[in-house]
Structure 1
Amino acid sequence: MANVTISTGVRANLISLQQTANMMSETQNRLATGKKVNSALDNPNSFFTAAGLNDRASDLSTLLDDMGQAVQTLKAADEGIKSITSLVEAAKAKANQAAQSSSNTDRAKFAGEYNELLTQIQGIAKDSGYKGKNLLDGDSLSVTFNEKVGTEKNSLSISGVSYAADGALSLTEVADGGWDTGDTGDAAIEDTLSSLTNALTSLRTQASTFGTNLTVVENRQNFTKNMINTLQEGADSLVNADSNEEGAKLLALQTRQSLASTALSLASQAEQNVLRLF
């Protein structure tokens, strides 16, 4: 079949229409996806840089979840220490009541209540875990703050205590008749009061340590949240499209397409006018 010859004017208008159609398709794709860089073909540098930023943000997001769980574990331990401190203070009150009493019956009653408080202290310590991790029952906790490994890894190791074990706070139950009136009983009460004072000091020191650890983890948690936002904003600035700009561009292209179609029609009519001469 013989080739159809197209005039220069018609060919120029066809090329213009094709280019406009391609540009409209690209603009419509940007508006549909919200991105000006959808693949490495659009802009390799921006595409791979944004991918790297998003990958790091994703890694930090995983660590952020772990930090959140670590915060809850520390809060559970802190609540446990607060409750144990209240029980130790109640136990100290029982020992003081026994010291002020001259009745063996009353002292035996106070000793029984004291022993029950010690049992509850162990119970609270055993129940202060979170998701299988209990800092008051000898478990330790390690929190990772960045996605790096080796010497560049940043983490915090938190050591637990064993308040759930017998005598962990150097507190022992009172044997039958251990607090009876007399020099031996009075001395035993004084020893108990001394042990309770030491236990309270230990509890307050441990609470301060856990509080410091909690502050560190929460600060790193907030820092990581802000870092993730920074990384994502940086990635978005490289690949996201400006919807206002793309919308205006599409409107201009539609106008250009309409004008090109009109020009093509006029060029065709010019050729038809030449035919009429024959």
Structure 2
Amino acid sequence: MNSVTLAAGVRANLLALQQTSSVQEVVQNRLATGKKVNSALDNPGNFFTAAALSDRANDLTTLLDDMGQAVQTLKAADEGIKAIQKLVDSAKAKANQALASASTTDRNTFASEYNNLLTQIEDIAEDSGYKGKNLLNGDELKVIFNERTSDAQNSLTISGVSWTSVSNLSLAAVEDWSVGDDGDASINTTIDSLNTALTTLRTQASTFGTNLSSVQIRQDYTKAMVNTLQTGSDRLTLADQNEEGAKLLALNTRQQLSSTALSFASQADQNVLRLLG
């Protein structure tokens, strides 16, 4: 089949119309996806740079989830310490009541209640874990702060304590709170041990509090960094919807004008057709 020959004016206007349609497709795609760079073909530099920024943001987001879980583990341990402190205070109150009593029966009752409180301290220490990590049962918690390999990793290792045995708090069950000097001496020794335990609890609570503060600061920093990375990636790839909308409006107008110009350019051929008619 022989090719159709077009007049120069018709060909020029047809080419302009095709170019306008091609640009329209690009603009419509940007409006539909919200992005000016949808593939490496659009802008290789921006595409791969934005991909690298997004990948790092995703890696940090994963670490951010882990930091959140570490915060909960520390909070669980802190709640356990608070509960244990209350039990130690109660145990101290029992010891003071026994010291003030001159009744052997009452002292034996107080001693039994004291021993029960020690058992509850061990139970709370055992129950202060979160997702399998218990900082009051000797577990160690490692919190990773960046996405680098292990040799360049920033992290915080939090050492736990083993309070599932009250002996690690310098406490022990009592047997003799009898009336008399020996019983009084035993009670006073117990009170001294309880005061030491309270000091240990407060010191450890302060240590965990410092660790919690450090993790939360890094958590906030990482959130800000993820936002910075995502914003940077978006600026390289996202389209300005207002600008693209204005472009599409202008292209639609240009398309109408090109169609009109094409119609005018083809009138010469139509005049020849009239002569032949």
Q: Shared fold (TM-score greater than 0.5)?
A: yes
Matched, 1:227 2:225: yes
Other-structure match for 1:112: 112
C-alpha separation between the residues in 1 aligned to 2:229 and 2:110?
62
Q: Once the 2 structures are TM-superposed, how far is the Cα of residue 275 of structure 1 from its aligned partner?
A: 4.5
Other-structure match for 2:39: 39
Single out whichever of 148-157 and 68-77 deviates more from structure 2: 148-157
For residues 87-114 of structure 1, the C-alpha deviation after alignment (integer angstroms, 9 at most, x for no partner) is 0011011111111111111110110110
C-alpha separation between the residues in 1 aligned to 2:168 and 2:73?
20
Other-structure match for 1:169: 169
Query: What secondary structure sits across from 2:169 in the alignment?
Result: coil
Q: Once the 2 structures are TM-superposed, how far is the Cα of residue 277 of structure 1 from its aligned partner?
A: 4.9
Q: Any residues of structure 2 matched to 1:105-144 within 5 Å, and which?
A: 105-144=105-144
Q: Any residues of structure 2 matched to 1:123-272 within 5 Å, and which?
A: 123-175=123-175, 178-272=176-270
Q: Once the 2 structures are TM-superposed, how far is the Cα of residue 2 of structure 1 from its aligned partner?
A: 2.4
For residues 34-93 of structure 1, the C-alpha deviation after alignment (integer angstroms, 9 at most, x for no partner) is 000000000000000000000000000100000000000000000000000010011011
C-alpha separation between the residues in 2 aligned to 1:98 and 1:38?
78
Letter in 2 for 1:72: Q
Q: Once the 2 structures are TM-superposed, how far is the Cα of residue 272 of structure 1 from its aligned partner?
A: 1.8
C-alpha separation between the residues in 1 aligned to 2:266 and 2:39?
40
Single out whichever of 179-188 and 226-235 deviates more from structure 2: 179-188
Other-structure match for 1:82: 82
Q: Once the 2 structures are TM-superposed, how far is the Cα of residue 182 of structure 1 from its aligned partner?
A: 1.5
Query: What secondary structure sits across from 1:201 in the alignment?
Result: helix
Unaligned stretches of 5+ in structure 2?
none
How many corresponding residue pairs?
276
Other-structure match for 1:11: 11
Query: What secondary structure sits across from 2:167 in the alignment?
Result: coil
Other-structure match for 1:28: 28
Other-structure match for 1:101: 101
Instruction: Name segments (4+ residues, structure 1) moved above 3 Å.
Output: 274-278
Other-structure match for 1:54: 54
Q: Once the 2 structures are TM-superposed, how far is the Cα of residue 249 of structure 1 from its aligned partner?
A: 0.3
Letter in 2 for 1:143: V
Q: Once the 2 structures are TM-superposed, how far is the Cα of residue 180 of structure 1 from its aligned partner?
A: 0.2
C-alpha separation between the residues in 1 aligned to 2:137 and 2:76?
12
The TM-score, its normalising length taken from structure 1, stands at 0.97
Unaligned stretches of 5+ in structure 1?
none
For residues 161-208 of structure 1, the C-alpha deviation after alignment (integer angstroms, 9 at most, x for no partner) is 011124121110111xx0101221111111101100000000000000
C-alpha separation between the residues in 1 aligned to 2:3 and 2:180?
126
Query: What secondary structure sits across from 1:163 in the alignment?
Result: coil
Letter in 2 for 1:202: T
For residues 203-248 of structure 1, the C-alpha deviation after alignment (integer angstroms, 9 at most, x for no partner) is 0000000000000001111111111011000000000000000000
The TM-score, its normalising length taken from structure 2, stands at 0.98
